[in-house]
Structure 1
Amino acid sequence: MEAKDYIESGILELYVYGLLSESENIEVAEMAKNNSEIENEIISIEKAVIALSSSFSPFHSVANYEKIKARLELKHGKVIEMQPASRWSQYAGWAAAVLLLLGVGYQTLQLNETKQAISSIGTEKNKIEREFAYLNQEKNITEKNLTIVRDVKNTGVTLGGQTVSPKSFAKVYWNKESKTTYIDAAGLPAPPKGMVYQVWALKLSPTLTPTSIGLLSDFEANDQKIFAVDQTVYAEAFGITLEPAGGSISPTMEQLYTLGKV
């Protein structure tokens, strides 16, 4: 194996960390003895490990050490010098500490990423739930409106545009049995601010007699523009006028938008 390949294999780092078997240690030592490039790489790794581990180690100067040693000898007699651990055991301990720190750091990073992913999933789940609730509500409204339109018991009355708004139109769905009345106002423009559409049930003879059956409130908020109004007991025609907010006692004929006979 070429020296470059041997260096890039990572075995020299394990050698410095003291993580190889005895036979592997002998092999690396022989390779270093016969190849200066490998030997220099080992020295470089050792220096890097020492530099990194020393940042975690307490430092005592030689003078402080001698002072402590002298005090211990005065109190307890001669201090027995401890033989320093072998270079390889020191490196192994430092390497283990470095690997432990790296492992803790990696696990912390993974934990944070997992928490962020969970939070993101939770937010997306809430968004989907809100959208589903809204769509379900819209579906229910649509189904109800289709029931109104398709009910054969409902009398459909088309209201055409009048002088103030010739292009306007609307439709009334009136059930003469249950007296329920719905207005499809999709053909009306949005009312100006401070104004509201008011629906009238009209008796035409012997004199014109209008009866208010409700307001088309929250006009712009009603996407499908189908409004339920008061029950209609009797009507020969229906009309819709534009009135001040809150409605009027009698219709403002100059603001008659739509009109149609039953």
Structure 2
Amino acid sequence: MDIKAYIESGILELYVAGALSEKENEEVYALMLKHPEILTEVQNIETSIIKLTAATAPQGSKNIFNSIKESLDFNDNDNKVIPLNKGKTNWFNYAGWAASIVLAAGLFWATSENNELKSKIKIAETNEQLLEVQIENANNSLTKAKELISVLRDRNIISVPLDGQQVYPEAYAKVYWDKNSNNIYLDVQGLPTPPEGKVYQVWSLTLNPLTPTSLGILDDFNTDENKIFVIENANASQAFGITLEPAGGSESPTLEQLYTLGVVDTAS
């Protein structure tokens, strides 16, 4: 058997490309086991295809074509028609290279598909993480709701309605005061959205003499959907008020911007 002629026939390229029949594949495989030169040539072809694909994949199909032309020793000055005086063309070689081209294109397509699949998996993982965060937030909201219901049902809770004042008569709020925990649960659903650069500030008041003590500002008013805030209050409060103050709050309440006020029922 002429090993060199067999290698140059192009059948090994077709074998690597998977373009042969099952019987032909078996024949090539048997020859590979018998002749180390054929095995080496198959390995070289596979290595060339992999290198060709790796070199051309990032640049796209145009560079694939250029790399293949270089591998075939073509250039832009070559004639488009093969002259008759060049002798008989070895079409098996060209068939082999054609099969190699198909394989290279297939590997490029597979690489693109793989990247797209990875992108879809990444998006799915991100969506899953977002869903987990939403579930966690929902669970936290449910926990807070149950806690609030428990507070409202406690017979020892002092309820203090806060009515709207002259600056905004339609305003209203409500304080649920738990003296055992020194906390108030402030429901401010009845307050309008504060203007930009302004915040609501909550005050604990003693009435004789009138002494205000700040319980803090409602920085999260716009983003809190429930509009219910838990605020620590260890004061001997006789009343509660809410004023509109500049961002950051004030040391003393701006009475002209008093939105709600409510007196604690001494019988409670």
Give the 5 Å matches for 1:19-98. 57-58=72-73, 90-98=90-98
Give the 5 Å matches for 1:102-113. 102-113=102-113
Give the 5 Å matches for 1:1-262. 57-58=72-73, 90-151=90-151, 152=154, 153-204=156-207, 206-262=208-264
Please report how far the alpha carbon of residue 102 of structure 1 lies from its aligned counterpart in structure 2 after TM superposition: 0.4
Whether the aligned pair in 2 keeps the contact of 1:195 and 1:244 (CA below 8 Å) is yes
Partner-residue secondary structure (3-state), 2:144? helix
Could you say which residue in structure 1 is the equivalent of 2:62? Answer: none
Q: Which has the larger radius of gyration?
A: 1
Q: Distance in 2 between matches of 1:175 and 1:142?
A: 20
| 1:253 to 1:18, Cα distance in 2 relative to 1, 3 A | closer
| 1:145 to 1:200, Cα distance in 2 relative to 1, 3 A | farther
| 1:142 to 1:217, Cα distance in 2 relative to 1, 3 A | farther
Gaps of 5+ in 2: 1-18, 24-67, 75-86
Could you say which residue in structure 1 is the equivalent of 2:40? Answer: none
Please report how far the alpha carbon of residue 131 of structure 1 lies from its aligned counterpart in structure 2 after TM superposition: 4.1
Whether the aligned pair in 2 keeps the contact of 1:191 and 1:242 (CA below 8 Å) is yes
Please report how far the alpha carbon of residue 142 of structure 1 lies from its aligned counterpart in structure 2 after TM superposition: 4.2
Q: Deviations over 1:99-133 (max 9, x none)?
A: 12102211221221121121122033213313431
Please report how far the alpha carbon of residue 167 of structure 1 lies from its aligned counterpart in structure 2 after TM superposition: 1.5
RMSD: 3.1
Counting matched residue pairs gives 187
Q: Distance in 2 between matches of 1:232 and 1:165?
A: 29
* Percent of aligned pairs sharing the same letter: 38
Whether the aligned pair in 2 keeps the contact of 1:215 and 1:229 (CA below 8 Å) is no
Q: Deviations over 1:121-174 (max 9, x none)?
A: 203321331343144124304422441243214333221211111111112121
